[in-house]
A and B are shown apart, each in its own frame.
Chain A
């Protein structure tokens, strides 16, 4: 495995170091100063996530109000480094209860140091699984002296956990009510030209699970994906009933999925870890159902006036509805005054992002909503080149809708004790970068 990091730094937006950890001594402790002066305080911040200054490479990403910077001096695996950062952040989130920002870091110094020691060794990433780390690193605050039922807790068997056949699940779990939650979360990325032709469109999806099951259950998941259906048809020698099958690209599974079984039978069968985990990820590039259609017309009337007309149409089922729809329509910098008429929701001008922001809380399916705005511009002394017209951006969430059309056909739970389980399945589609040029 290649080296992923010589040092990791957590900086706030001002460039102060919140926490750092040096894994190898091939970079100086003051390299972060170079980052601060050469990247953070210049306009190049955010343009390129990998920069080289002096003999060092800096990989950085911004999460909330924290910059995470990885410094390496040799030829490192950049993808590995970024994956490590993402996983580490997920780990911290699961420890901190979801929040990851400057305050969370400040409040959990000790825990973070302990985790940083654990998840990387001499620049090589180690076990980042929250389920396992939580067994050993338990900085749950000061434990109350009255709760001295230490004997109840199973003695963690690290060797088994790390090396055993089912490393991700402890034995002897008992739940009164056996439940399984399954969420399919998809985000749609779109770039559409002003004439309405799709320039780029894809969906990235993931299946998140939460299991509260006793014993060592074996789960089997059936989706309406093409390979699985074909294999099934082949096995059962009968044609597929439902006409639509989805072609999944770039499928990656959680380590609990039995890959040999998947290769032979094309079924996703697994022994789930306890609690929350991400079962699989996939991508779809073809046959995407776009939830919204946007028809913008922006007219520049002379130098000081712009007329904006944006029509948004929901194309998902009439019974469904979208939540938190936000349409950001960019306007020139010298915008002085705006007048809106909207059929639903609210619109206002936000000077800090130079956009008209139109918010609709609930957007039912198969409906249409329009915004008419009149924008007045102030005259400036500098003769600017004509306005570049950035694309309109959109945010939304559509529950119970998948842009890919993916469906769960079955989710079977088998356990030797044969208890009954309750399965909950949820679908949700969000906007990734949903952009329409105008």
Chain B
């Protein structure tokens, strides 16, 4: 550089450097600026040398951070100087200082242009560099150039043709053409109009014929930019690109200086492949073949070597090739080759390579059919999960998450669970979330899912977000057959000495809801459950305490007959928390206390939670939210979405957290089973409303929050007007379809112009096992039922609730009792006032065993519509059964004492819904048939016993048993009031079983056998799947007794 002679400049710089402080520096700079100003003003005296010197000083001052707002003219004038040193200074200073003043830039255009057109290569280069710099260095400048600023646009427009000419002229040296290509790229980026698409496409193709690799590399950069914007116009370049690739891959005609560690110009290779990725597909089979050949060569030829630089270069090429392969949707064979290669990479020690391998595998998952191939490397990926490098661990986790499907879910989730205890904290939450999602999505069976989540909570409680455990609760609530299992599991975890608070929450909730299902197990009596949960109370936070209080209330409710000791204990706790400083806890304590004081009549308020409406998993949503950062992850997400669509069967429900209602809120206050609506409920509800938290009495839009859904039924409500769509608190997902169906009901069926809400049959079945709930509901009326059974007596209360603001008239209720029941319905009022509820007690006495059901013929007028429904009443056989547990010593003698038919009937039942034994046992328990586990030596057999009450027989023991294999049983006489049942199942074929029922009364034996058979064939778990057709009613079975056909009630019931 010609600076050596500039003494003034170096003196100035050394002065500045010698300044002690900023102030001195400023003084020196101001002095110098004054000097420069004076010098520039006497322009005549300035020699080129002096001008150059002062311009350098200006640049130096500018670089120090001072404002230099003059002298640009001098800088620009230097550009036109004939000598290189001055021209260079001019270009450098102009490109640095000239940022906003486009007037000066306009002045410069001409000179720059002259340099470009001129024959001097050095000057051409300088000019091109300056264009790039002006475009590039200054963001202010670029913004000018970008958006419609005249000066910048003018600059770009007036120079672009010259630059183009320079680029394609054959007379220029490669050096200049390289720069011209890059310069055009910059201009194009600022203003895409500078490249005329029609004319340029051919020239671009020509350019790609260039032999010089330098020019080619620059042109390829230009092409990438052009193609990314508009690939249509540049189809002609495609074969050329492939040619270039071929040339590079074959290493033909590559000069030594473009070979980098033996790899022919990796940069050009990468760029070419990048350009190819912008074309959607390659149709020409020849081109495709040759391209694949090249790619094959790259894939084959790349290996991990010692030299880092070589590795870097070859891997850059390789990964670009992989991206291209993925883009081109290559044949499976090629894909598997890629995966094999990646598999090799993830086994390498070098962390960078491993990272890239994992990342690219994750990307590969976009192409779904390679999943199987990737699975082969599962073990290796799992090893990477233990890598010391966290970014590799994260990649591995992503990959595992992405590659998981039904076949390997179990392994992967178990692996994740195992890893969870050793993973570092930064990753745990993500890990827990992903494990939970995978478990949910790919669970082979639900109990496994529950296992996984409970383990998850156990191992990493702190990192399990609330969503995860909410989800378990939803699953368990919605799947009846899962409930006992979950409860048992929860109970097990509570035995551990130290458990996480989240675990306390889940366990308490599940045990509160379903603890009674375990009642017969050792250590699971309400009292024991209570005491073990209560142990945790002192250590938990307030939100958990409120859950625990709900649990206590439920335990109290389920301990029937009430245990005074337990009751006192729990009441003491409620009393204690009545003065809690936490409003939530205080309210719960007060209300639970008041409710439980009311006694059994109120207990159904605390009955099981209704099912949650079906929604998309919050977890998956959450995972999606967290994954929006990188592009690769978006691909995974895409796939996850696809999967979640296909695996919807398991994604059953979701709680709405969007409205900020935590499940605690859902549990809050009295949990009303949505079907029941009796006066006491209302009073309880009103009591709660007075407290101000429950104000959901008004009808609200159907899309109301979940809390509203759960608590809404407290109030009897009607449609806002006439017969419009109303909100339903139905627990089945049917509501929408049913309501919609009103529109298409044929006009002929005038009698029931009002469609019921919910499935009547399902409701009946639910009531067969429960004692209270909604029997019927339509937009105008809701009929609830609440029953108490004592021996052969039944006391039912029908709650007729008018949901409307206008009265219901001509209300009639007729009971059509079967022969075996004596029923007395008290007077039903003619009119039900608006928004009121009337109670109609109904007394039932069981005369003798029969499966027939009573029918309630109910009709009312709303406006001009006459509505008439016939409803089966849930006064079924099992209601008169009283559970009784017998020991082996008692059972077998009784069993043997009963001789063969008709006292003891045996039948092989086929077409039974397959059920795990455990669930079948639960089913039996819910029918008041007490299963005595361990009584039968064969674990596949169930033995149950119960007592039947009727007026004629009083109590009778029934024994039921099921077997797999025929066993010879001696039958002896038993007391007439007991029934023994034995079910034998075949583990190989769950659809068939052999059932033996024995009791002291032949009718009873027969009826009970038929009843159980019906139940087994049509186990009402169909409710779980809302779209499932209503199970056929038991009475409509062809096996029903001939006597039933003569019974009007039974006939009616059969018609229904």
| Minimum CB distance partner of B101 in chain A | A381
Residue of A nearest to B27 (CB): A352
Which listed residue (A13, A378, A379, A381) contacts B23, Cβ 8 A? A13
List B contacts of A13 (CB < 8 A): 20-21, 23-24
- Tell whether A378 pairs with B21 under 8 Å between CB atoms, given A335-B37, A337-B42, A351-B30: no
Residues of A within 8 A of B424 (CB): none
* A235-255 Cβ-contact flags toward B at 8 Å (1 or 0): 000000000000000000000
Q: Is the CB of B41 within 8 A of A378?
A: yes
Q: Does A380 belong to the interface (CB within 8 Å)?
A: yes
Q: Does B701 contact A (CB under 8 A)?
A: no
For B67, the closest partner residue in chain A by CB is A382
B97: nearest chain-A partner, CB-CB: A381
**Contact between A382 and B38 (Cβ–Cβ < 8 Å)?**
no
| Min CB–CB distance B887 → chain A (angstroms) | 80
> Are B30 and A378 in touch, CB under 8 angstroms?
no
Could you tell me if A337 and B70 are in contact, using CB atoms closer than 8 angstroms? no
Q: Within 8 Å of chain B (Cβ to Cβ): is A14?
A: yes
B35 at the A/B interface (Cβ < 8 Å)?
A: yes
Instruction: Produce 1/0 per residue, B7-41, CB < 8 A to A.
Output: 00000000000001111101100110111011011
Q: Which of B65-82 contact A (CB under 8 A)?
A: 67, 69-73
Given contacts A13-B21, A335-B37, A337-B42, contact A381 B70 (CB under 8 A): yes
Contacts of A352 in B (CB 8 A): 26-27, 30-31, 34
Please report the C-alpha to C-alpha distance between residue A15 and residue B21 in the assembled complex, in whole angstroms: 9
Complex contact B21–A336 (CB within 8 A): no
Which of B30, B37, B38, B101 counts the most chain A CB atoms within 10 A? B37
- Asked if B30 and A14 make an inter-chain contact with CB atoms under 8 angstroms apart, the answer reads no
A350 to B37, CA, bound (A): 12
Interface membership of chain B positions 106-127, coded 1 if the CB is closer than 8 angstroms to chain A and 0 otherwise: 0000000000000000000000
Known: A334-B37, A336-B40, A352-B31. A14 touches B69 (CB 8 A): no
Answer yes or no: B104 CB below 8 A from chain A CBs. Answer: yes
Report yes or no: B20 in contact with A337, Cβ–Cβ below 8 A: no
Is residue A374 within 8 Å, beta carbon to beta carbon, of the partner chain? no
A376 contacts B by Cβ under 8 Å = yes
Contacts of A350 in B (CB 8 A): 34
Contacting residues of chain A (133-158) with chain B, CB-CB under 8 angstroms = none
Residues of A within 8 A of B21 (CB): 12-15
A349 touching B41, Cβ below 8 Å: no
- In whole angstroms, how far apart are the Cα atoms of A20 and B23 in the complex? 23
A382 partner residues in chain B, CB cutoff 8 A? 67, 69
Q: How far is the CA of A376 from the CA of B100 in the complex (A)?
A: 25
Sort chain A's interface into a size bin: 20 to 34
Nearest Cβ distance between residue B693 and chain A, in whole angstroms? Answer: 46
Cβ–Cβ contact B34 & A351, under 8 A = yes
Kindly list chain A residues whose C-beta atoms are within 8 Å of the C-beta of B73: 379
**A315-357, CB under 8 A of B: which get 1 and which 0?**
0000000000000000000111100000000000111101000
Q: Is the CB of A380 within 8 A of B30?
A: no
- With A337-B41, A378-B37 known as contacts, the answer to whether A14 contacts B100 (CB < 8 A) is no
Measured in the bound complex, the distance between the Cα atoms of B19 and A13 in whole Å is 11
Interchain CA distance A336-B54 in the complex, whole Å: 14
Q: Let me know if A349 and B69 touch, CB within 8 A.
A: no
Q: Is the CB of B20 within 8 A of A334?
A: no
A381-B69, A381-B101 given as contacts; is B38 within 8 A of A336 (CB)?
A: yes
| Chain A proximity of B191: nearest CB distance (Å) | 24
Measured CB to CB, the closest approach of chain B to A358, in angstroms, equals: 17
CB distance from B72 to the nearest CB of A (A): 6
Min distance, Cβ A327 to any Cβ of chain B, angstroms = 19
Are A336 and B37 also in contact (CB < 8 A) when A379-B70, A380-B69 are? yes
Rounded to whole angstroms, the CA-CA distance of A349 and B42 in the bound complex is 16
Find the A residue at minimum CB distance from B26.
A352
Interface string of B35-58 (1 = CB under 8 A from A): 101101110000000000000000
Is A337 in contact with B100, judged by CB distance below 8 angstroms? no
Kindly list chain A residues whose C-beta atoms are within 8 Å of the C-beta of B33. Answer: 351
B34 touches A349 (CB 8 A): yes
| A335→B42 CA distance, assembly (Å) | 13
> Could you mark each residue 61-105 of chain B with 1 if its beta carbon is under 8 Å from any beta carbon of chain A, else 0?
000000101111100000000000000000000000000110010
Most buried by A among B27, B34, B35, B104: B34
Q: Which of B494-521 contact A (CB under 8 A)?
A: none
CB-based nearest B residue for A349: B34
Instruction: Determine if B31 and A351 form an interchain contact, defined as CB atoms under 8 angstroms apart.
Output: yes
Enumerate chain A residues within 8 angstroms of B40, measured Cβ to Cβ: 336, 378
A381 proximity list for chain B (CB < 8 A): 69-70, 72, 100-101, 104
Which chain A positions have C-beta within 8 A of B72? Answer: 381
Distance, CA A24 to CA B316, complexed state (A): 64
CB-CB under 8 A from A12, the residues of chain B are 20-21
Q: Is A351 touching B42 in the complex (CB atoms < 8 A)? A: no
A337–B104 Cα distance when bound, in Å, is 23
Q: Is B34 within 8 A of A335, CB to CB? A: yes
List, in ascending order, chain A residues with CB within 8 A of B101's CB: 381
Enumerate chain A residues within 8 angstroms of B104, measured Cβ to Cβ: 381
A73 CA to B438 CA, complexed, in Å: 59
Residue in B24, B30, B72 with the greatest tally of chain A CB atoms within 10 Å: B30
Nearest chain-A residue to B73 (Cβ)? Answer: A379
Give the distance to chain B from A361, nearest Cβ to Cβ, in Å. 24
In the bound complex, how far is the Cα of B72 from the Cα of A378, in angstroms?
Answer: 11
Q: How far is the CA of A12 from the CA of B22 in the complex (A)?
A: 12
State the CA gap A336–B104 with chains docked (Å). Answer: 20
Chain A, residue nearest B24 (CB): A13
- Give CA–CA (A382, B31) in the complex, Å: 20
- Which A residues are in CB contact (< 8 Å) with B37? 334-337, 351, 378
CA distance A370 to B100 in the complex (A): 43
B 360-378 to A, binary, CB cutoff 8 A, 1 in contact else 0: 0000000000000000000
How far, in angstroms, from A22 to B465 measured CA to CA in the complex?
53
Residue of B nearest to A382 (CB): B69
Q: What CA separation (Å) do A352 and B38 show in the bound complex?
A: 14
Which residues does chain B contribute within 8 Å of A380, judged by CB atoms?
Answer: 69-70
Cβ of B489 to closest chain A Cβ, rounded Å: 56
Complex Cα spacing A378 to B42, Å: 11
A334 to B71 Cα, complex, angstroms: 11
Interface-centre pick from B67, B69, B101 (highest chain A CB count, 10 A): B69
Residues in B neighbouring A378, C-beta threshold 8 A: 37, 40-41, 70-71
* Residues of chain A lying within 8 A (CB to CB) of residue B31: 351-352
Q: Is the CB of B69 within 8 A of A376?
A: no
Q: List 9 A-B contacts (CB under 8 A).
A: A13-B20, A337-B37, A351-B35, A351-B37, A352-B27, A354-B30, A380-B69, A381-B69, A381-B101
Supply 16 further A-B pairs (C-beta < 8 A) apart from A337-B41, A350-B34. Answer: A13-B20, A15-B21, A337-B42, A349-B34, A351-B30, A351-B37, A352-B26, A352-B30, A354-B30, A376-B41, A378-B71, A379-B73, A380-B70, A381-B69, A381-B72, A382-B69
**Chain A interfacial positions (CB closer than 8 Å to B):** 12-15, 41, 334-337, 349-352, 354, 376, 378-382
Nearest 3 pairs of A and B residues by beta carbon: A351-B34, A336-B41, A336-B37
